C-alpha cells in the first residue's frame, strides 16, 4: 500500500492522488473538537441508520445527513431528500464549522467557492466497508466533493472512470481531507473493511463526512 506518513500536527501536506483529486493530510485536525461536537449534535436529532440498497442489501456503513438535503437509499433507489425518512423532519442544518471547512478545503484543492447543500455522515464500525462506486446522484458535476476522515484509519480505494480500472490504495487518518472534482469527479472509489482499533477521541469507529453540491 502506498504509505502516506501521518500528518505532523500543524503541518498539513497536500498530495495529488490524480488530476483533480487532492489529499489534504491533517487539514481538519485543528478543528477536530468542534467537528466531533457537531456530529454528536446531529446524530442526536438524526441518528445513524443502516440504509437498504435498491438491491435489497443492508449497507454495513451507518449513515445520516445534515444540510438542505440528505442522501438516502431504499428499495426504490437512491436520491437526495429534504426530509429524513426516519423522523419525517428536515435534516439538521449544516453547522457553520462544516460549511467553512468544506469551502476552505475545496479552495486549497483548486475548487473556488464550493457551497455544499448536503453533508452525508458515514459511520464505519470494524468490518464495515463501502464497495467501489461513483458519486453520480448529484446534478452538478462541476462542483467537487469534499470528504473528511475522523477516527480510525481507513484504506481508501481510488480507481478510474471505469469500474474495471486498476485501483490505488491510500491510508486515510483522522483529520485527513480528500477533495475530488474536475477530471476525477466520476472516478470509482471505495473503502476497504475497517480494521479494529481504538481511537483516542472516537473509540472503535471511523466517521466520514462527505460534502456535496447536489444542484
Ligand atoms: C469514505 N467516501 O471515505 C467514503 N466519495 O468513507 C466516499 O465515498 C467519497 O471519500 C466521493 C469523494 C470522496 C469520498
Ligand atoms: Fe463516494
pLDDT at 5 over 90: no
> How many angstroms separate the alpha carbon of residue 215 from the centre of ligand 2?
17
* Residue ranges with CB less than 5 Å from ion ligand 2: 135
Mean pLDDT, residues 137-156: 97
Phi, psi of 135 (to 5 degrees): -95, 100
Ligand 1 pocket residue status of 184, Cβ below 6 Å: no
What domains, with CATH codes, occur in the chain? 2-212 (2.60.120.590)
pLDDT tens-digit series, residues 26-76 = 999 999 999 999 999 999 999 999 999 999 999 999 999 999 999 999 999
Q: How confident is the model at residue 147 (pLDDT cuts 50, 70, 90)?
A: very high
Q: What is the model's pLDDT at position 10? A: 53
Task: Find the 60 Cα to ligand 1 centroid distance in Å.
Answer: 15
Task: Report residue 191 CA to chain centroid gap.
Answer: 11
Q: Which ligand is nearest to the CA of 212?
A: 1
Cα dihedral 145, 9, 207, 18, rounded to 10, equals 30
| pTM for the predicted model, two decimal places | 0.94
Q: 185 CB less than 6 Å from ligand 1?
A: no
Tell me which of 208, 209, 214 to substitute to probe ligand 1's pocket, judged by most ligand atoms within 8 Å of the beta carbon.
208
Report percent pLDDT > 70 for the chain.
94
Is the pLDDT confidence value at 8 over 90? no
What pLDDT is attached to residue 113? Answer: 98
| Average pLDDT over the chain, rounded to an integer | 95
Planar angle of CA 196, 135, 163, nearest 5 degrees: 80
Taking only the tens place, the pLDDT of each residue in 12-34 is 699 999 999 999 999 999 999 99
Amino acid at each position: 500500500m502506498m504509505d502516506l506518513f501521518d500528518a505532523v500536527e500543524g503541518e498539513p501536506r497536500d498530495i495529488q492522488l490524480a488530476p483533480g483529486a487532492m489529499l489534504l493530510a491533517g487539514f481538519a485536525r485543528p478543528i477536530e473538537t468542534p467537528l466531533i461536537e457537531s456530529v454528536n449534535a446531529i446524530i442526536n436529532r438524526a441518528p445513524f441508520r443502516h440504509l437498504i440498497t435498491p438491491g435489497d442489501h443492508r449497507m454495513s456503513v451507518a449513515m445520516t445527513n445534515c444540510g438542505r438535503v440528505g442522501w438516502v437509499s431504499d428499495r426504490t433507489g437512491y436520491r437526495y431528500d429534504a426530509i429524513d425518512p426516519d423522523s419525517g423532519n428536515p435534516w439538521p442544518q449544516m453547522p457553520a464549522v462544516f460549511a467553512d471547512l468544506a469551502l476552505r478545503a475545496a479552495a486549497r484543492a483548486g475548487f473556488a467557492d464550493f457551497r455544499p447543500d448536503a453533508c452525508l455522515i458515514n459511520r464505519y464500525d470494524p468490518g464495515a466497508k463501502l464497495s467501489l462506486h461513483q458519486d453520480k446522484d448529484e446534478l452538478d458535476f462541476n462542483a467537487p466533493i469534499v470528504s473528511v476522515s475522523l477516527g480510525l484509519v481507513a484504506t481508501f480505494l481510488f480507481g478510474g472512470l471505469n469500474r474495471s480500472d486498476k485501483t490505488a490504495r491510500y491510508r486515510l487518518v483522522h483529520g485527513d481531507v480528500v477533495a475530488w472534482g474536475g477530471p476525477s469527479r466520476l472516478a470509482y472509489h471505495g473503502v476497504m473493511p475497517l480494521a479494529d482499533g481504538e481511537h483516542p477521541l472516537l473509540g472503535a469507529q471511523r466517521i466520514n463526512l462527505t460534502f456535496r453540491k447536489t444542484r
